[in-house]
Structure 1
Amino acid sequence: MGESKPESMKLWERGRKLGAGGYGFVSLAHPLAGHPLFLPDSSLQVVMAVKSAKYATSSSLLRERYLFKKFSDCPHIIRYLGCDCTYEEDERFRNIFMQYAAGGSLHDRIKSAASRGTRISEIEARDVTECVLHGLRFIHSMGYVHCDIKTDNILFVKGKAKIGDLGATIKVGKYPGKIIGTRNYMAPESFQSGDYSSKADIWGLGCCLFEMITGVKKWRHMKEDEIHKIIERSRMSDKAQLFWRKCMVEDPEQRWDADMLLQHPFIVDHPPPSTTAKQVSKIMPASSNVEEA
């Protein structure tokens, strides 16, 4: 679906708002008759996510559209579905359509688990981490850095984790010294000097993994013995700990990349077939240190 004339845009209707930011806002979108994604059987109807911005200030959407199209071959990144322009309440908008993540975000899952006094199981944390690593490997192979890997930007489609929101994604070395991203997930070299290589995304992924397994987000300024106590309470496995520490190496040159991490025992050593679903999905009780994302 390419960019169409405003007067032809009666092919979809805007649903409830999902979120907003400096770029504009995101809503649900429902295809109508005549739209290529419309299905006559309403019980099978497709729902899309649409990111919209006022036309005059929509350059960031054009850039994000370019990146979604560029990364469209990767199944671990939210899929781009098209774009158009519309007039709504006498205002012109540019819209880009994306695959809707009905499963919500990783942030939502962590928060929901905390509200029940539980945490995400290590098995699920590993599966999420593996999916994100595949997505990052693809992005990095194209010469880009996502720059904002965090729990809000890891989305679930049919139970599988996908990378979303390419608004901060840059070509490696394009904006030296510029601070991009979310501080709690930023690599030391990024918030200290605005240095962004592919290794910056790996740090962010490590932060997400720690948050999934321990339920703790703000740990960066804790002493090592405090961090060790959190890990002990969470019963994080040795493999998970070793993997996490490979992500959190201060020197980006020594930090592992996505290819190396995909070969780590935490990722490749799956539980034996005899392990029951109940054992695999068991979630340990959360400690009093659990923080909302």
Structure 2
Amino acid sequence: MEWRRGQTLGHGSSATVSLATFPHSDDVLAVKSSELSRSESLQREQRLLSSLCSPYIVSYKGCDITTEQNKLFYNLFLEYMPFGTLLQALRRHGGRLDVSVVAGYTRQILQGIHYLHSNGLVHCDIKSTNILVGENGAKVSDFGCAKRVFDTAAPISGTPMFMAPEVARGEEQGYACDIWALGCTVIEMASGVSPWRNVADPFSVLHRIAYSGEVPEIPGFLSEEAKDFLRKCLRRNPRERWTASQLLKHPFVGELNSKSQAKEIQESNSSSPTSILEQGFWNSVEESEIHGKLIRTRSGNLGGDDRIRGLAEFSGEPGWKWNDDDGENWITSRGNNDEVRDAQSSGQPPPTDSEDSDYQPRADHIP
């Protein structure tokens, strides 16, 4: 399968997200790429995403391996969401969203979380930069931290600003941590500010979350329904937090409001340009400056402040930086009929044909 790598949408420490177009169709996808030798996390994400199917989860579209600049790259193809991240949606609308739009996005994110939990998965890193926005609203994306709920060997992972108290203390990372992070995200959508204010460093925010007894401040201007919804999300005891299934019945995001909320969401995006190659929505945003760095570490043998310090000092993966590229760096890539799966399972590059320096394994059901 031949495809073209287009403008860079964003990049992290080991992966880059670009546009991908196909010369024999009008399809446009996002492609997340990493050098094959450093693609273990991306291949893990592929295995997880390929098992999911929900209108509230960014869709998996296939994978392949390409040779570019004499290096092998692993490519994960995803549904393209033209309006960028939820954080960028906030910025386009003056830093905060109307409450009706917040309610609509919250319901869609919650439906994505409910789908994951119903399938035994915990996302572990719900936040505005991991929610992507399309014409019909929001979808959950970026499953680099996701895990099976009963996988006790999985490391603690996520973004400190959105970590639940039990996660900051290193006790557990179950379904309830996604609900806490949703509450933090709703506060950010409604107010335009981070859920925890006046914190100087990761250690401070983690210590505050873990031991202060506080919860993020709920904006006073919200309706009583919205405030009650957030109180249900932000209970410090994970056993007392409402589940995704319970929250979907809450009047703040209730079914009776869903049609009007969908209309509000569509209208909120209606003034945006429609040509995906001309959109500037993926503006340069250094996420780590806003939310702090993503962390992934095993800290179960540490106690108290030592555990938190270990989390805070772990360099982790810096947040994604979303770019405003000029779109000139198009690269054509080709695939053939050799299997990607052998390389995925072994972590080794496929055998190459010495007479064909552009050897490419085939794409896995890319349109």
Range of TM-score over shorter length: 0.7 to 0.9
In structure 1, which of residues 78, 88, 96 is the aligned counterpart of residue 76 of structure 2?
96
CA positional deviation for 1:77: 0.2
Change (3 A) 1:91 1:227: same
In structure 2, which of residues 90, 106, 117 is the aligned counterpart of residue 110 of structure 1?
90
Change (3 A) 1:272 1:85: closer
| Structure 1 counterpart SS, 2:109 | helix
**What's the CA shift string for 1:143-189, capped at 9, x where partnerless?**
11000000001111223110011111011132458320011111111
**What's the CA shift string for 1:76-113, capped at 9, x where partnerless?**
00011111110000001110100001011111012233
AA matched with 2:6: G
| Structure 2 counterpart SS, 1:95 | strand
Flag structure 1 segments of 5+ consecutive residues without an equivalent: 1-8, 39-44, 283-290
Change (3 A) 1:79 1:125: same
Partner of 2:60: 80
8 A contact 2:195–2:217 mirrored in 1: no
Partner of 1:165: 142
8 A contact 1:180–1:194 mirrored in 2: no
CA positional deviation for 1:247: 0.3
Work out the CA distance in 1 between the residues paired with 2:240 and 2:216: 24
8 A contact 1:110–1:120 mirrored in 2: yes
1:190 correspondence with 2:167: yes
| Structure 2 counterpart SS, 1:32 | coil
Partner of 2:187: 210
Change (3 A) 1:271 1:160: closer
Partner of 2:314: none
Partner of 2:238: 252
Partner of 1:56: 37
AA matched with 2:48: L
Work out the CA distance in 2 between the residues paired with 1:226 and 1:77: 27
Partner of 1:238: 224
Work out the CA distance in 2 between the residues paired with 1:274 and 1:65: 35
Partner of 1:68: 49
- In angstroms, what is the RMSD of aligned CA positions? 2.9
Work out the CA distance in 1 between the residues paired with 2:215 and 2:23: 58
Instruction: Give the TM-score of the pair, scaled to structure 1.
Output: 0.79
Work out the CA distance in 1 between the residues paired with 2:259 and 2:233: 28
Work out the CA distance in 1 between the residues paired with 2:137 and 2:112: 12
Percentage of identical aligned residues: 37
8 A contact 1:145–1:172 mirrored in 2: yes
**What's the CA shift string for 1:10-63, capped at 9, x where partnerless?**
x11111111112341111111122xxxx1xxxxxx2211001111112111111
| Structure 1 counterpart SS, 2:65 | strand
| Structure 1 counterpart SS, 2:222 | coil
Higher relative contact order (CA 8 A, sep 6+): 2
| Structure 2 counterpart SS, 1:94 | strand
| Structure 2 counterpart SS, 1:155 | strand
Partner of 2:247: 261
Work out the CA distance in 2 between the residues paired with 1:273 and 1:144: 28
Change (3 A) 1:292 1:258: same
CA positional deviation for 1:225: 11
AA matched with 1:87: T
Work out the CA distance in 2 between the residues paired with 1:153 and 1:244: 20
Instruction: Give the TM-score of the pair, scaled to structure 2.
Output: 0.64
8 A contact 1:110–1:212 mirrored in 2: yes
1:123 correspondence with 2:100: yes
Work out the CA distance in 2 between the residues paired with 1:151 and 1:171: 22
Q: How many residues align?
A: 256
Work out the CA distance in 2 between the residues paired with 1:178 and 1:66: 18
| Structure 1 counterpart SS, 2:50 | helix
Partner of 2:21: 30
8 A contact 1:25–1:53 mirrored in 2: yes
Work out the CA distance in 2 between the residues paired with 1:141 and 1:225: 27
AA matched with 1:62: Q
| Structure 1 counterpart SS, 2:37 | helix
| Structure 2 counterpart SS, 1:14 | strand
Work out the CA distance in 1 between the residues paired with 2:195 and 2:150: 28
Work out the CA distance in 1 between the residues paired with 2:214 and 2:240: 20
Work out the CA distance in 2 between the residues paired with 1:274 and 1:22: 40
